[in-house]
Structures are given as structure tokens and as C-alpha cells.
Structure 1
Amino acid sequence: MGLFLGIDTSNYTTSTALYDSSNDTVIHSRKLLPVREGELGLRQSDAVFAHVKQLPEVINSLLGDKQYKFDGVGYSARPRDVEGSYMPCFLVGEMLAKVLANQSSAPLYDFSHQAGHIAAALYSANRLDLLKREFVAFHFSGGTTEGLWVKPDRDCVMQIKQVSGTLDLNAGQVVDRVGGMLGIPFPAGKELEKLALTCNTDYHVRVKLKGMDCCLSGVENQCRDMLAKGSQKNEVAKFCLDTICATVQAMSEAIMLECGDIPRVYAGGVTSNSLVRNHISQWLGGVFATPELSSDNAVGVALLAYLRAQRSRL
């Protein structure tokens, strides 16, 4: 059918992608938003300003000096597919998407950031066939810790309903807060993983859920207590990630009991962690995004634009 552009301006990454449906290939370009040393995040006003500065650089890196005519343009318009889901940072991507779609006389499609994560996971795992049936998706990141029931939808490609979540902190927040305790710059995921891999201790953590929901704020407190009592930094890092592994497993098992043993897809930056991936793969299996496409990216949004265009022609 042609070329489909995706734009995603999440709270921490400026991202663009180009999907070529003629050969099922994708290229993408992205850049993390700058966070001041010692801080654990950004205010929305700062995120919006950073995207305005970075988006021209990121889109030029993707397209170079070529003049493309797009057959569809997709963008992330909101964090999740629920009423009231909104973040100002997505307005930056929306503005550019509207301009480029108008320039190409191409249809414009809006999606949730979460739907983009799921689509990127399915594409990178070569499991787009799951879009034709029901499955469970888990989205673990700095802003989301959710289990999702996903069904096919003719108009929006997929219908997403939350069935479990966190009652306090998100998994990615815990990683960044514990990383901050250990002197690791934000975002802390990769460096915390490297540190944890130097620890030979396995922490067998028992997780108590409330229904199918988890509570993660206690992990931060336990890690702080470990440091105060003289534990080594790599031990604290390993305990943190072992607890997240146990939490992901407990949530997965709870949903399997409720929904049956249907396909499970894991997406979001936390699932790029090798400890989490290996633990869940060993005990429960499942479909994982590649590490490259686990964190925020516009690949899924570009792909969803193609799938929406395809459906409009039926």
C-alpha cells in the first residue's frame, strides 16, 4: 500500500518511524528527553518544550533529505484508551502529524501510546496474527503497570480493557527511585540491570496481590532499609528487580486463572530487562517485544496507521 509515518512524543522520548508496507520493513529515529542530574523525571511543561526542540532533529534523522509522500500518518494522541487519558506532551506530535498528513493529502490516524507499545511488541516478535484473536497484554513502564484484555476491533485495530494494575507506584518508577538511591542517573533501567547482574544472590520474594492488582511502594522502602543496614548496592539492585520479576509473574498467573491460558504479550521499557524477560519466559512463556522496541517508540503507531488504512479499504 505504501509508506506510513508514526510519531510518538511520550513523556521521556521523542520518536518517529516509517513503515513500508511493500516490504514489511521499518526504520525509526528517537531521542530521550533531557533530565537534569539528580532529578527523577520531568514536568509536563518541560517535556513539551523539549519535544518542540527535538522533534525537527528526530524527523530529519528519519527522513534525511528525501521527499516522501505518505499514504497515512499516525500519532500518539493520549497515554491510554480510557476516558480522560491526556498528557500535553502528545500535542507536539499531533501538530507535526497534522502538517505532514496535509502535505501528503494522506489520512490522519490517532492512537494511544499504549496501543503503540502493544503493536510494536507484536511486530517485533513476528506475532501480528494475534490481532485477529483475543489476548492479554502486559504494559510495564515508568507510567503504567497494567494487565490488559485485548480484542480485535475493525475500526481501531484493537480494543483494550484494563483488568489489573498497580495501586501505588509503577514498576518503572520503582526502578528509577531505587536507581536514584544508588546514584544511578535517570532513567536507571539499564544501569540498575548491569549492577544487579553482578550479584549472585537470588531473592525469593512472595508477592501478595489485592485481587489482580499489585502494590509496589513497599519495594522502595525495603531497598532503602537494605542500604541503611549495610547491604551492597548490587544486592539492593538485585532485590529490586527480583521483586519486580515476582510481581510480574504473580499478575500473569492471576490473569491466567481468570482468563484462561490465552496468549500473553509483554511490552514497555521494564520488559526489556533481561532478568524480567528470562524469568517470565522460563516460568510462563509469552510474547515479548525485542529490547529495542520495548521502550518508547513510534514503530507501533506507524504500523497501526497502516492497519487502519487497510481496514478502511475493505
Structure 2
Amino acid sequence: MNSRYILGIDTSNYKTSVAIIDTECNILCDLRRFLTVKEGEKGLRQSDALFQHIRNLPELLEEAMSDNNYHIGAISFSSKPRPVKNSYMPVFFAGESYARSLAAVLSIPSFAFSHQEGHIEAIKAFSKHSNKKELLACHFSGGTCEMLSVKSKHTGYDIDIIGGSKDISFGQVIDRTGVQLGMSFPAGEEMDRLALASDEISSFLTPIKVKEGWLNLSGIDTQIKRLTINMDIQQAQPVIKELFEKVADAMTKMIFQCAEKTGITDVIMAGGVTSSLFIRDKIVKKLAENHIDAAFGQADLAQDNAIGTAILGGKIYGNETR
């Protein structure tokens, strides 16, 4: 019986995700389902998100196993937001409870990682930096805005925060703007399409100040909220483009400053905000011109998924079964 398959589970604030890989990191199954947010709302309470994960997981697991006779050898799951003591968020209990229960019934090992480690690994594993032991990582998502110093270890990563936002995240600014304009939450993909399609750009927003890799985003959040409150989407499109310009400029400054203070020039771009095609186009050339070797990876792997978590577990399982 071939048991060289690893099941990955991730239950974040945005998505229920299930993946199956083999020990060679080939992706055999990648299923994701957005959590449902009521129209006009900007997110979910943890209790509501947890309930949706509990409802989604059986359906996704049934779908993952329906067409193929995978003999799962190990289960890997996200148990908390970050790989530090006291990192906690109730939504991850859904994935953990399913993973540990399935592992116990099947008498196979289970491996716990953080959501952040999964984000990093999903990009790193398929990038030019796959064998690097030390690098920088940008984790820019709906709820996180952090610059990280990352060192590989046997069971994931040692991670230190060396920059980021002191208040809200890039993703929150983008999502809040989109919801105010009548878009569904999360609004990042639609906002990105509008920024790319706009032939005009406004000049209303103040540049985001960055100092030693740190910034505040509540100022630009307040600015754009006031600007767009009486606009429809078409009227707001040049402002959306300017917002994405300002975000891209701020990201570039954060990376430059953190590379300068650490001496590390290899960078992983992780988290849903880094899947923005507008932002990628704006910063990749600037980074290369300044000798920063940034790996973006596939846009869908930058978003919430269970692939990175599965790969991390697969590395341990592969070593144990050799």
C-alpha cells in the first residue's frame, strides 16, 4: 500500500482549505472555499467563521477523496496564526480538531504548524529560494502586515518580526474601501482588476511614510474612506489605482529598509495582497534594480491555502519514512 500522500488542512479567517500532496511536493488536490460574509460586512466573528469551517470541512474532504484512492500517510494542519508562544485564534481549532481526529482513527502521524509558516512555504517550495536557509519574507494579507526574518528548521521556521504595520494591514485598507464601494468582502481581487483597468490615476492620497521597515496605515485608510464615501465604483477607479500605487511604493520601501538592516536580499512575497498583479508589476522591477531577489510565486499560492502546510508536514513525514 502506497502511503506517500499528505493531507493538509488550513482554516483561516477567509477560507477553508484542503490539499493533498505526495512526498515529492507534487500537488494532487487543492480545494478552497471562501467563508460567506453578509453583504456590507467587513469580516466574520470568530464564532461564525468557526461554524462555517466545521460545515465546510466534511464536504471538502469528501470531494478530495472521491475520485482517487489516496492512502494518506500523514496529516498536516494550521493550529495558530504565528509560530510563537500564545499565538491564538479560534478558527484554527476547526482544522486542528478534524486533523487530529482523522489521524487518530487512521493511526497515522499529524503535524501542527502555523498559518504564517504555511504561507511562506507555499511560495518558497516552488521558488528559486527553495533551498535557502535564511531569507526575508513579506506576509501581507487581510489581517497581517509584517516583514519577517526567516530561518529554516527541521519542523518549520524560526521567524522574527523586523518591520510591518503598527496598526491595520494593507489588506484591511483595500477590503474596507471595496466594501464601502459596494463590493463583496473580501474585495482584493476586484479592487486589483479595477486598478489594472483604470486609464486614469488620481493625486489625492498622501504617500505612506516608512521608517526602518515600519509604517502606519490608519491615515491613508481614513483619507480614502472620506474620498470615496459618495462615489460609485466607476468614479472611484482612479482613486483605487492611486491607492494601489501608494501601497506598492510603501511595500518597496519596507523591503529596501529591512534588506539594508539585515543584509539579506533574498525575499519571499507571501499573503493575499502579494497576489495583486498591479502590485507585482509595480515593485518587481524596482526590487531587481536594487539587487533584491524577490520570489512572488504563483498568485494563487500567495492566497490562503493548505498546500504550504501540507508540504511542511510532508518534509517531516518523508524523512521519517526513508
Same fold (TM over 0.5): yes
Per-residue deviation, residues 194-248 of structure 1 (Å, max 9, x unmatched):
2222323456864322432111111222213333697921012112111111111
Structure 1 gaps of 5+ residues are: none
What letter corresponds to residue 253 of structure 1 in structure 2? Answer: F
Distance 2:170 2:242 in 1: 13
Structure 1 counterpart SS, 2:146: strand
Runs of 4+ in 1 over 4 A off after TM superposition: 202-205, 228-231, 311-314
Residue of structure 1 equivalent to 2:317: 309
Residue of structure 2 equivalent to 1:207: 208
**Does the 8 Å CA contact 1:223/1:239 hold for their aligned counterparts?**
no
Structure 2 gaps of 5+ residues are: 289-293
Distance 2:220 2:63 in 1: 40
Structure 2 length as normaliser, TM-score?
0.90
Residue of structure 2 equivalent to 1:294: 302
Correspondence list, 1:50-199, <5 A: 50-64=52-66, 66-125=68-127, 127-130=129-132, 133-154=133-154, 156-199=155-198
**Does the 8 Å CA contact 2:181/2:229 hold for their aligned counterparts?**
no
The Cα shift of 1:261 comes to 4.3
How high is the sequence identity, in percent, across the aligned residues? 37
**Does the 8 Å CA contact 1:7/1:15 hold for their aligned counterparts?**
yes
Q: After alignment, is 210-219 or 175-184 more displaced?
A: 210-219
Distance 1:23 1:246 in 2: 34
What letter corresponds to residue 178 of structure 1 in structure 2? Answer: T
**Does the 8 Å CA contact 1:203/1:242 hold for their aligned counterparts?**
no
Structure 1 residues 201, 252: closer, same or farther in 2, change over 3 A? farther
Structure 1 length as normaliser, TM-score?
0.92
What letter corresponds to residue 33 of structure 1 in structure 2? Answer: L
Distance 2:202 2:91 in 1: 38
Q: Is 1:253 matched up with 2:256?
A: yes
Q: After alignment, is 292-301 or 56-65 more displaced?
A: 56-65
Distance 2:124 2:202 in 1: 31
Structure 2 counterpart SS, 1:82: coil
**Does the 8 Å CA contact 2:5/2:23 hold for their aligned counterparts?**
yes
**Does the 8 Å CA contact 2:135/2:264 hold for their aligned counterparts?**
no
Query: How many residues end up aligned between the 2 structures?
Result: 311
What RMSD, in angstroms, separates the aligned Cα atoms of the two structures?
2.1
Q: After alignment, is 200-209 or 102-111 more displaced?
A: 200-209
Distance 1:23 1:194 in 2: 31
Q: After alignment, is 186-195 or 302-311 more displaced?
A: 302-311
Q: Is 1:29 matched up with 2:37?
A: no
Distance 1:203 1:115 in 2: 37
Per-residue deviation, residues 138-178 of structure 1 (Å, max 9, x unmatched):
00001100011111213x23211111121111111011011
Structure 1 counterpart SS, 2:210: coil
**Does the 8 Å CA contact 1:178/1:240 hold for their aligned counterparts?**
no
Residue of structure 2 equivalent to 1:274: 277
**Does the 8 Å CA contact 1:124/1:293 hold for their aligned counterparts?**
no
**Does the 8 Å CA contact 2:170/2:217 hold for their aligned counterparts?**
yes
Structure 1 residues 233, 158: closer, same or farther in 2, change over 3 A? same
The Cα shift of 1:39 comes to 0.2
**Does the 8 Å CA contact 2:208/2:220 hold for their aligned counterparts?**
no
**Does the 8 Å CA contact 1:76/1:113 hold for their aligned counterparts?**
yes
Q: After alignment, is 27-36 or 206-215 more displaced?
A: 206-215
What letter corresponds to residue 218 of structure 1 in structure 2? Answer: G
Distance 2:269 2:296 in 1: 5
The Cα shift of 1:96 comes to 1.0
Distance 1:66 1:310 in 2: 21
Residue of structure 2 equivalent to 1:42: 44
What letter corresponds to residue 254 of structure 1 in structure 2? Answer: Q
Structure 1 counterpart SS, 2:72: coil
Distance 2:285 2:58 in 1: 42
The Cα shift of 1:266 comes to 0.2
Per-residue deviation, residues 42-70 of structure 1 (Å, max 9, x unmatched):
00000011111111111112111545332
**Does the 8 Å CA contact 1:195/1:237 hold for their aligned counterparts?**
yes
Select the residue among 22, 40, 46 that pairs with 1:20.
22
The Cα shift of 1:104 comes to 2.8
The Cα shift of 1:106 comes to 1.5
Distance 2:74 2:95 in 1: 15
